[in-house]
């Protein structure tokens, strides 16, 4: 039997763990070309918030009563697929459960590359790819840029911050709370803004970047986006990655004095990580090299056990994570070394 988290009700105002329910389901028969995977690591990500609402977002809405899905890493324990024999470690998207039964074509066999296997849900996976291409391609950031990164303490943010430093940029990072600020300083940020401390973000950014910013990597939207427009130099490049401050609300892009976009000749580019799937090798090669050399650190916040999945997910929206938020289901194995 697989234990699977389902969406029991839509969020009503505040997001709570009570909208999810855990129930057991018999394992389906293993048809030709399918595998059964015992999950070791589950990912929770802000994009999942959009699937919970009636209208969805860039992810389609999840019907009430459906199993929740998300990124996962596990070990093949039964196989009817030649390419994925028992024992293969795979990445797939049928998470939020302990046991997944799925087509081998929906799994990616993971390389033994010297990095901890869970990193393929973080800096060597989707969030890392988002940071890498968002910064270097969508924003066309390069040496000498002054880069403002919001939610810089998260999975995407900690990668974007460090890639920018490796490429000799100046980084102003924002996050919530003194402890996270200290962690971002330790990761190399030149200046850190605590958006939860008293004072407005625009004023704090002006102080941190008196000569203005040339790049903005937006994970937050809202008042962070406003502050970035305020401090933008003429011709600044904005990579619009996500707007976590507005998830679960009817988001409207209200810009005070939109003529600032015109007069500053700002370039805004929205992007999604899958846009760059055909350039996986480029991203993976650089990120793995920086990981193994120690140039790229990967902070993680790990919750234990399947029961903890909704708590880990909900706490993403109150800053409960430094770096990638993960849930561990299996005891540490050989691929888990830090
Ligand atoms: N375009 C794409 O393809 C793509 C792919 C992946 C992710 N994304 C987006 O990238 C962003 C970061 O994702 P992630 O996976 O790295 O998540 P994350 O940053 O690890 O987790 C969420 C963080 O957001 C911050 N946050 C939550 N509510 C906030 C608010 N109201 N105002 C300011 N900060 C808030 C919290 O940090 P604090 O402690 O600092 O508040 C929290 O730790 C999200 O917007 C996500 O949707 C986009």
| Spatial separation of the C-alpha atoms in residues 216 and 202, rounded to whole Å | 13
Beta carbon of 232 within 6 Å of any ligand 1 atom: no
Ligand 1 center to 292 CA (angstroms): 26
Question: Which atom of ligand 1 is nearest to 177's Cα?
Answer: 39
Measure CA 83 to chain center.
Answer: 29
Name which residue sits closest to atom 30 of ligand 1, judged by CA: 245
Beta carbon of 214 within 6 Å of any ligand 1 atom: no
Tell me what pLDDT residue 248 has.
72
| Spatial separation of the C-alpha atoms in residues 18 and 327, rounded to whole Å | 18
Measure CA 1 to chain center.
Answer: 30
Name which residue sits closest to atom 6 of ligand 1, judged by CA: 127
| Spatial separation of the C-alpha atoms in residues 182 and 325, rounded to whole Å | 19
Q: Which of 151, 153, 220 to mutate to test the pocket of ligand 1 (most atoms within 8 A of CB)?
A: 151
Measure CA 179 to chain center.
Answer: 20
Tell me what pLDDT residue 1 has.
93
Residues of the chain falling short of pLDDT 70: 249-254, 332-338
Residues near 114 by beta carbon (within 8 Å), at least 6 away in sequence? 288, 292
Tell me what pLDDT residue 254 has.
65
Report the alpha-carbon angle 142-46-230, nearest 5.
Answer: 45
CB 299 within 8 A of CB 183: yes
CA end-to-end span of the chain: 32
Neighbouring-strand partners of residue 323: 154
Nearest CA to 182 among 221, 227, 152, 220? Answer: 152
Give the burial string for 79-112 (b: 16+ CB within 10 Å, else e).
bebeebeeebbbbbebbbbbbbbbebeebeebee
For the purposes of burial, counting CB atoms within 10 Å of the CB of 36, is it exposed (0-12), middle (13-18) or buried (19 or more)? buried
| Spatial separation of the C-alpha atoms in residues 152 and 76, rounded to whole Å | 35
Ligand 1 center to 287 CA (angstroms): 20
This prediction's pTM: 0.96
Neighbouring-strand partners of residue 102: 35
- The phi, psi pair for 22, rounded to 5°, reads -100, 130
């Amino acid at each position: 039997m697989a234990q699977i988290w389902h969406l029991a009700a839509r969020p009503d105002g505040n997001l709570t763990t009570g909208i999810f329910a855990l129930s057991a389901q018999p394992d389906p028969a293993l048809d030709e070309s399918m595998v059964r995977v015992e999950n070791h690591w589950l990912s929770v990500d802000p994009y999942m918030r959009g699937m919970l609402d009636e209208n969805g977002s860039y992810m389609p809405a999840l019907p009430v009563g459906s199993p929740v899905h998300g990124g996962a890493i596990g070990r093949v324990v039964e196989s009817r697929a030649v390419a994925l024999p028992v024992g293969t470690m795979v990445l797939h998207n049928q998470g939020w459960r302990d046991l997944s039964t799925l087509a081998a074509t929906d799994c990616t066999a993971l390389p033994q590359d010297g990095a901890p296997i869970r990193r393929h849900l973080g800096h060597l996976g989707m969030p890392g790819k988002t940071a890498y291409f968002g910064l270097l391609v969508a924003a066309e950031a390069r040496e000498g840029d002054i880069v403002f990164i919001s939610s810089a303490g998260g999975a995407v943010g900690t990668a974007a911050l460090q890639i920018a430093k490796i490429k000799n940029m100046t980084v102003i990072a924002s996050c919530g709370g003194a402890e996270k600020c200290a962690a971002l300083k330790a990761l190399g940020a030149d200046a850190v803004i605590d958006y939860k401390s008293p004072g407005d973000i625009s004023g704090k950014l002006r102080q941190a970047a008196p000569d203005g910013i040339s790049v903005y990597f937006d994970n937050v939207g809202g008042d962070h986006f406003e502050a970035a427009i305020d401090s933008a130099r003429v011709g600044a490049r904005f990579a619009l990655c996500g707007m976590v401050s507005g998830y679960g609300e009817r988001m409207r892009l209200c810009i005070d004095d939109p003529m600032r976009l015109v007069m500053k000749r700002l370039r805004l580019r929205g992007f999604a990580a899958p846009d760059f799937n055909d350039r996986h090798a480029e991203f993976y090669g650089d990120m793995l090299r920086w990981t193994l050399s120690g140039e790229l650190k990967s902070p993680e916040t790990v919750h234990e056990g399947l029961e903890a999945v909704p708590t880990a997910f909900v706490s993403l929206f109150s800053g409960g994570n430094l770096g990638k938020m993960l849930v561990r289901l299996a005891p540490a194995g050989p691929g888990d070394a830090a």
